[in-house]
Structure formats: C-alpha cells, structure tokens
Structure 1
Amino acid sequence: MPKDAEHLELDAGGRTIAISSPGKVMFPEHGETKADVARYYLAVAAPLMRTVRDRPTLLQRFPNGATGSSFFQKRIPATAPDWLETTTVSTPNGTTSRALVMADIAHVLWAANQGCLGFHPWAYRASAPDDVDELRLDLDPSPGVTFAMVREAAAEVRAFLTEVGVAAFPKTTGNRGLHLYVRVAPGSDAFAVRQAAVAVAREMERRRPDLITGAWWKEERGTRVFVDFNQNAPHKTVFGAWCIRARTGAQVSAPFAWDELEGIEPDALTIRSVPERLARLGDPWEGMDDAPQSIAPLVERYRADLAAGIPDNPWPPVYPKMPDEAPRVAPSRARTPPTD
C-alpha cells in the first residue's frame, strides 16, 4: 500500500486539509484515488476559484467512488469544521438548508474529502443573492444527436449572441453536451435570466429547426439539441466548471476557447490531462469577469413575445404554476377540444 494510502495532509492556501483514506480508488478505469482528486483541485485552484468563489454549492457525494451510489447533500452537518463558510439557500418549494459556500480552495478540498464528485454551484454569489450573475445555456443532446451536432449548435448560439452584443464562454459538461456561460451585469434576478434563456431557445429553434429545439417536452424534441432554458430557473444549479464528473474515466467539465470548438473532445479532458492543458494554454475563461454583459436585448425579446400573445415556456414540475406560463401538460396528454 502506498505511504499516503493511510495518511495525507495538503496545504490548501495556508490551511492544512487532511485527506482520509487517500489511497481509496475513486475512478476504476485508470485507478485515480482520493489523493489524486485533491491534488487535481489544487492544480486548477486559480481558475476554479474564479468561477465558484463565494457561490453556494450543492454537493453530490459518492462515498464508494464513481461507480457507487450517490446522494445530494444540501445541508452541511453541524459536525463540520467551524471555519467552513455556509449560507441559507431555498428549494423551489421554499424549503431552506445550510449550504456550503465555496470561499476558497480549502472548502473544495474539504468537500472532496467527503467523496464529493459533483459540485453544483448556484448562479449567484452568497454575498449578493439577489444578483444572478450567470446565464447558463445548457446544450443538451437528445437521443441520436452526435457531438458534432452539439458543436454546430454551439456555433449557432454564439453567432446569435454576438449579434445582440452578448459574449458567451463555452465548456464541456464532462459528458455529452456543452454549456455556454454569460457573465451577467448586476441587476438581474433569476426570473430575468431565465427569460433571456427562453429567448435564446426560441430564436435558435426559429433559425435552425432542423438542429436545435426549445421544446420542454421530450416527445417534441426529436433528434435535436435542446437548449435547456429551465437550468436558469430560480434555485437551479448546474455542474461546475473545472469540476470532475463521476464517470469511470474521471472526465472534467472543462472550459475551452471558441477557436477550439471543432476539435474539442470531451472524453479526452480528464483529471489526468486538464492540469497540463491549463499550464500550457492558460485559463480560457480568464477574461469572463472583465466585462459583465447586459442581457436586456434577450429579455426584451421575451417580453415582446409575451405582448404578442406567446405565453411563457413550461416550468419544471417542482415549481408552482407561474404567471404567463403556458399549460404545463405534455401535448400527448392534453385534452382535445370537442368538435361540433
């Protein structure tokens, strides 16, 4: 057994974090251990903290590694170290819980030591909970969609956003899709950000109905890339940038530059390759915070649709019925009006 299989202490920005059972294998394909996970996060600490610092974060824990069972942890236990920063978050039904705030890399390593293989940050900072500062466009491949189609959809979304003066930054999801992030200027709440996402989904379906859909109901999507606007609903979280997915190959949700889009291969971006890539290419998201974006052009499109009689898109089932929302029922289950 390796020496650090019994005991390991790591310096996390001036705080010592003990890693228990550091030799425990978390990813069976190549044998990466808890120690490897912790050291990976230290290697990407600077760009990781730029994206997650001060964000409440939902933890997905895999006590027995990537192939074992998992559970989501919203509540930080009372037995946690007293130096951990936490904040109160709400679920769609109003339930509150004490969530971890990603204050520094020591908080990340503490969670990694708990077997966390999924960090899901909120779209706001704990210090400014009323300002949602990220628009997150989730390009979700329906069954039968190839990654080449997802790439093409991302290019189409970028072209539209560029037209309306909005800059987006891409990352892999660590699986089959892509995420496009927009740093939103102060003053927008989650409802406005979701409206902007709805506007993007609708416009992309108008432009490329053969490739992209904004249809909430799966039965309507076909073999197309779905722009999941509801990932921006209040209290929703999205898998974090630079974070390791619970896949056997230890893939990472990795930011990349737009000029890499045609060659990016998500399965190749792993705990093993991403630190070297970061050292060689730098952080492709480094400039994201330099110019926060106005989403007003997108919100105005949504409101123009509403004024023209087009209702809001359906919300997820865990949310109460929302003002201006279309009937929340799958088309195949909707009642057909009687005929004379």
Structure 2
Amino acid sequence: MAVRADRGRRALDTGRGTRRAQRAAARLARGEVSSIRFGVSELPPEGIPDAAFLDSLVEQGHRAIELPFTKDFPWKEKRCEEFGTLAAERGLRVSVHAPYFAGLTIPDEDRGRQSLAAIEHTMKLGRSLGAPVVVVHLGSRYDEDPGVLLDRIRGRLTRLEEKVSGMGVALGLETAGNRSQFGTLGDIALLASEFGFVRPVIDWAHIHAMTGGGLADPAAFGAVLEFVDASFPGWMTAPLHTQFSDNEFGPSGEIRHTEYGRGTLRVAPLIRAAQEKGVSMVVISESRDAESHERIWEEARPLLEAGVDRSGRPLAASDIDFPRPVTVTRKADRFVPEGLDRPLTLSNVDKVFFPDDGYTKGDLIQYYASIAPVLLSHLEGRPISMSRYPDGLAGGSFYEKRAPGHQPSWMRTVEVESDSMGGVIDFLVADSPEALMWFANMGCIEIHPFHSREGSLDFPDYAIFDFDPSEGATWDQVVAAARLLEVALRQLGLRGYPKLSGSRGIHVYVPLDPVHTYERVRRFVGEVGRYLAAANPDDITMEWDKSKRGGKVFIDHNRNASGQTVAAPYSVRPRAGAPVSAPVAWSELGGLANGDVTIANVWDRIARHGDLFAPVIAGGQTLDAAEQMLGIS
C-alpha cells in the first residue's frame, strides 16, 4: 500500500526495499562499477513521433540524447517541454548544442549581443527540456591576443550570468578543434574558476586533432581525464560531458568529421580509461551518419556491459547513479575499498540504514565518497562532532566528540579547549574522501562541523540563523520568516545564503571574516532575530519556553555559541528518504521543501546549479557596519 507524503513529494511503499535489492543484484551481476552514459546527437526524423524515437534509443541501449540546434531553433518551448518529459520518463539525459554562430569571442559588439541572445534562448529551451547543460563553441581567435579574448569572454559571460542565474542550466564550453579557434581545456578551466555556471565539454575528436592523433590508447585518454580531475571542482564534472566522432585532421587541427573507422580515433580506449579511473561521463556520438553512430556504439557497448575487470563488488546496494562508484573486496567479515589513496576497512555495508527506502550503510558510505569533491571544502580545518547511528534509523543514536583512538593513523585531529569535557580534547577533521567514508562507516549519518576552523577556533567564519518551526507551525511560515531575513540582511548590507536543514527548518548562513568572537556573532543574530519577531509577531518568536511558542517559527540564536553545530551543507539527515541539507537559491524557497533533495537526486541539482554555498567559504564580510545600524555597541 502506497503512502503519499505532504504535497506528493515522496512516495513510500512497502515493496520498495525489495525492488531495490533486486535491482542491486542485477547491478552486481552486470558488473556495473562505472557511470558512463552513451547517447547520440540527433533530431527526431520527420514523421516519427517523439515517443517512438526515444523508445528506439532506449531499445538500442542509449541513455542520453543531444539535440543539435546548431543552425537555428527548430522547436518552440512547448515542443521542448513535451520532449523533455518523454525523455525523463525513459531515463534519458537531454543536452542541447547551441547554434554554431553563437560564439563568445566575436569582436563586433552588435554581433556579440546577437550571439549572447541566441545562447540565452538556447538555455531557455534547455530549461524547458530539462537539460542540465547547453553546449557552445567559444569561437574564433580572430588573430587576437589570448588575454584580449579572455577579457571579452569574461564580459559576455558576466552579462549572460545575470540573465540565466537560477535557470538550472549550465553553459558547457566545448574544446576547440582547430588552431584558428579559441578554447583549450586550460582556457575553459580558467573561465570555470570565475563563473560557476560554466562546465567543460570535451570533444574527443578535437583533442585528437589538436594533438596530432595523440589519443591512441587508454593512457592518453587517461592523461586528459587526470587533467580534468586536477583542474575542475568535482561537482563540475559529475558527470563529465563529452562528444565523440571520427575525423580527419592536419597540422592546423580538425579538417572534417568522417565515417567511423576511416580516421584513427577509437572509442574503446576512452571507455577503458574512464572505467579504470571511475569517471562519471556522458559520451555523445556526434557522427554525421547513422552507420557511424551504430559502429561506435557496437564497439562501446560490450565494454560498458562488461564493466571493469575487478575482483570486487559495488559498495552501494541501491540503484542510485552515484558519481565515481566505489568497488569493495570482501575480506572475512570486512570490506576493503579498491583504488583509494589511504587504507580503509569497512564493516556491515549491507546493513539497512533507511528501512523505508532500503538504503544501506554502503549507500551512505558511497554517498559521502561521491559528494566529497563538493563537501570537503566546507569542512576544511573544522573539528567534527560525530552524530552516530550504528544501526541506522531503526536504532539509537549518540554524539561523540572526542576522537575514539581507534581511527586510522592517517586521520587528522585538532586540539580544542573544552570546559565541559575537562580540558583539551582531540576532535577529528575530515580532509579527504576516505575520512568522510570512515565517518559514515562509524554510523555518522550526518556531519556536524564547528563554525570555525583550525588556527582561528575562537572566531567563527559565518553566522547562522536557524529557523526552527515549533509544533503547529507551517512550512509557509518558515519560508516567510527566512524571506524577511533576506530583506533585513540586504538593508544591513550583508549577504546570506539559505539551505534546507533537511529536517524541519531552514538555515541561513552569513559568511564572515574570522575576526568576531562567538559571543559577538551570537549577540548579532539574537538582535536581528528580535527585530524579525517584532516585525512579524504572528509567525516568528524568540521565546525560549517551547510551550509559549504557539505555532510560530523559533529563531535559535544559540546555534552560534562556541561548540554548537548544525548539519553541514550536503550532509545527509537521519530521516526517511535520506534527505540532504541542500543549499538553495533565495528564489527557490517557495518551491522546495525539506525532503525534496535526497541522496538520490542531489547530483542533478549540483550539475545544474553548482555549489550554491561556495560564497560562504569565501567570507569577505564583517559585522561592524550592521552592528552600528542596529545600535549594538
């Protein structure tokens, strides 16, 4: 019997765990230990219904489709919405290639504005399609200095970002294939470091041409993948969007696409390299003829179905498409992950931690291994309070602050002065994927870091407004309270960044330079909270006595006291559905609620929006002017 949660956000049924176990067994039998989606660049033929066209792709084994809007815009938004819905129902990932004329390097400003408008329109169509990325060519070099070109591109990306912010569609910059074109992977990495909505798109034929046929074996492809791993944040390349075709090339680069087999580029070495490195990747066949699509797929498919020749099994038991899936080998009653930089042993990975969903301890450990590229920057140098659930949601839980002593020798600790615990104690920190995996193996469903870092432990680098609904308060009241804070912060000249708590409320972080004491930050949050409660007494309260909160939203400014913690961004929360404490944009608050973002779907969100909490890490604010406005001395 199915039970629908509030607003239909999540459907739980008693057979879910069984079905997940069956799908997990099928994954094990297929040896699926890499996450590679193969697809084609193609528009549906005239006269063929979209549903039938997509069904044919699925029957062939494809899991992605790129729509080549390379000459014009053949579809309106309604067609895009309908096509996107059909594709999503079939598990197909949709992307769009923008028109070739829409480059970012064009010197003429009028033509440049037209190009930006075309890119913006393509991204709007991409939004209707549910596409996480729109692919564009950077454009010609025009015999100009690279610095001049980069500055021009920066200016146009700045203007574009203002138009597409919050759209949920990333801009994929494609690698150039000819020396007359601009856009090496290094150029794209530089732009991606400055613009969070930019993603790299590797055209393997272009790389092959620019290296004089250098992509001849798995090692050559692997070197490119290693460069990507070193040059881009992990969340930007989960998955890595790529394109593939055979081509002819000369001293200046690519001359033309050609039928697969006539050139020297082969897909098998790419698949082997990606599998060996555990890369999550989309491979779009950009061949100009159907026969080449088929030949590329015929060569790739057996490798994808066979997986990597490893001795182990997937760590995760669920059918979640985790980036960079981990393989483990059983040794007695323990499991050893393969390919890690630090030695680690896991236990009871098949124990069910989320009974309503069938998620296991192995799924939890895999989640933290996969989210590490995003999460670790938020935990750097911060002592961790362990919130342990050794038996999952069905068992008891407890907090553990002191490093237990049996942690691996490579795990770092930080000394923290604690009056309540009788002096200096060692707290653990998370500075590697392996450390996060160890915490999860200890039953730490959620991660609770300090608000301050090693070297400035007495000075938090953000203030937290914790909007906690009392019994009887509605989600709409929580949202209204947070929105009122947004207005107040703007008036105080401060930036705030909201995230779903993943439990019941909303957390808003105000990034700070580490120059204020905990008491000063706590006082500031309390003073602002009192103003908010005075402005909206029907919905907001600062009342400590729970019995007197009367269906209102409580602002807990004591969360800013020394030693207090809240769940980190991207932390899992110990609730049915395995929800994530997910950063959101202010514009999303009315449309998202706790439980909407989980360990299963957070990946698509990160691919579309990036790390919305990245500005929190940067700090860059003080409370001086705001305190003066509030009359705090």
Aligned residue in 2 for 1:125: 453
Secondary structure at the aligned position of 1:154 is classed as: helix
Contact 2:349-2:360 at 8 Å conserved across structures = yes
**Partner of residue 524 from structure 2, selected from 187, 196, 221:** 196
State how 1:23-172 maps to structure 2 within 5 Å: 23-91=350-418, 93=420, 95-96=422-423, 97-172=425-500
Contact 1:164-1:297 at 8 Å conserved across structures = yes
Residue 239 in 1 paired to residue 239 in 2? no
Q: Give the whole-Å Cα distance in 1 for the aligned partners of 2:409 and 2:439.
A: 14
Secondary structure at the aligned position of 1:179 is classed as: strand
Structure 2 portions without partners, runs of 5+: 1-24, 29-312, 316-329
Runs of 4+ in 1 over 4 A off after TM superposition: 1-6
Superposition RMSD on alpha carbons, in Å?
2.0
Deviation at 1:226, TM superposition (A): 0.8
Contact 1:143-1:223 at 8 Å conserved across structures = yes
Q: Give the whole-Å Cα distance in 2 for the aligned partners of 1:8 and 1:275.
A: 25
Amino acid of the residue matched to residue 118 of structure 1? E
**Partner of residue 217 from structure 1, selected from 545, 562, 565:** 545
**Partner of residue 15 from structure 1, selected from 331, 342, 357:** 342
State how 1:171-182 maps to structure 2 within 5 Å: 171-182=499-510
Q: Deviations over 1:179-201 (max 9, x none)?
A: 00111113111011101111111
Secondary structure at the aligned position of 1:155 is classed as: helix
Deviation at 1:47, TM superposition (A): 2.2
Question: How many residues end up aligned between the 2 structures?
Answer: 304
Structure 1 portions without partners, runs of 5+: 308-340
Deviation at 1:163, TM superposition (A): 0.5
Given the superposition, is the C-alpha separation of residues 199 and 242 from structure 1 closer, same or farther in structure 2, using an over 3 Å criterion?
same
Q: Give the whole-Å Cα distance in 2 for the aligned partners of 1:124 and 1:10.
A: 33
Q: Give the whole-Å Cα distance in 1 for the aligned partners of 2:618 and 2:576.
A: 36
Q: Deviations over 1:258-287 (max 9, x none)?
A: 121110121121111112221232111123
Q: Give the whole-Å Cα distance in 2 for the aligned partners of 1:66 and 1:163.
A: 42
Given the superposition, is the C-alpha separation of residues 39 and 276 from structure 1 closer, same or farther in structure 2, using an over 3 Å criterion?
farther
Contact 1:92-1:235 at 8 Å conserved across structures = no
Q: Give the whole-Å Cα distance in 1 for the aligned partners of 2:370 and 2:350.
A: 18
Q: Give the whole-Å Cα distance in 1 for the aligned partners of 2:579 and 2:482.
A: 20
Contact 2:372-2:436 at 8 Å conserved across structures = no
Q: Give the whole-Å Cα distance in 2 for the aligned partners of 1:169 and 1:133.
A: 13
Q: Give the whole-Å Cα distance in 2 for the aligned partners of 1:110 and 1:11.
A: 15
Deviation at 1:92, TM superposition (A): 5.5
Q: Please state which structure has a larger fraction of its residues in helix.
A: 2
Aligned residue in 2 for 1:331: none
Amino acid of the residue matched to residue 178 of structure 1? I
Given the superposition, is the C-alpha separation of residues 92 and 119 from structure 1 closer, same or farther in structure 2, using an over 3 Å criterion?
farther
TM-score if structure 1 supplies the norm length?
A: 0.83
Aligned residue in 2 for 1:187: 515
Q: Give the whole-Å Cα distance in 1 for the aligned partners of 2:450 and 2:525.
A: 16
Q: Whose Rg is larger?
A: 2
Deviation at 1:252, TM superposition (A): 1.0
Secondary structure at the aligned position of 1:66 is classed as: helix
Secondary structure at the aligned position of 1:47 is classed as: helix
Given the superposition, is the C-alpha separation of residues 173 and 156 from structure 1 closer, same or farther in structure 2, using an over 3 Å criterion?
same
Contact 1:67-1:247 at 8 Å conserved across structures = no
Residue 258 in 1 paired to residue 589 in 2? no
Q: Give the whole-Å Cα distance in 2 for the aligned partners of 1:293 and 1:231.
A: 19
Amino acid of the residue matched to residue 233 of structure 1? A
Amino acid of the residue matched to residue 509 of structure 2? Y
Amino acid of the residue matched to residue 355 of structure 2? P
Aligned residue in 1 for 2:258: none
Deviation at 1:255, TM superposition (A): 0.9
Deviation at 1:245, TM superposition (A): 0.9
Deviation at 1:173, TM superposition (A): 0.9
Deviation at 1:16, TM superposition (A): 4.4
Contact 1:194-1:233 at 8 Å conserved across structures = yes
Amino acid of the residue matched to residue 397 of structure 2? S
Larger relative CO (CA 8 A, sep 6+): 1 or 2?
1
State how 1:276-291 maps to structure 2 within 5 Å: 276-291=604-619
Q: Give the whole-Å Cα distance in 2 for the aligned partners of 1:262 and 1:246.
A: 24
Q: Give the whole-Å Cα distance in 1 for the aligned partners of 2:384 and 2:539.
A: 33
Secondary structure at the aligned position of 2:428 is classed as: strand
Amino acid of the residue matched to residue 218 of structure 1? K
Amino acid of the residue matched to residue 507 of structure 2? H
Given the superposition, is the C-alpha separation of residues 11 and 299 from structure 1 closer, same or farther in structure 2, using an over 3 Å criterion?
farther
Contact 1:59-1:116 at 8 Å conserved across structures = yes
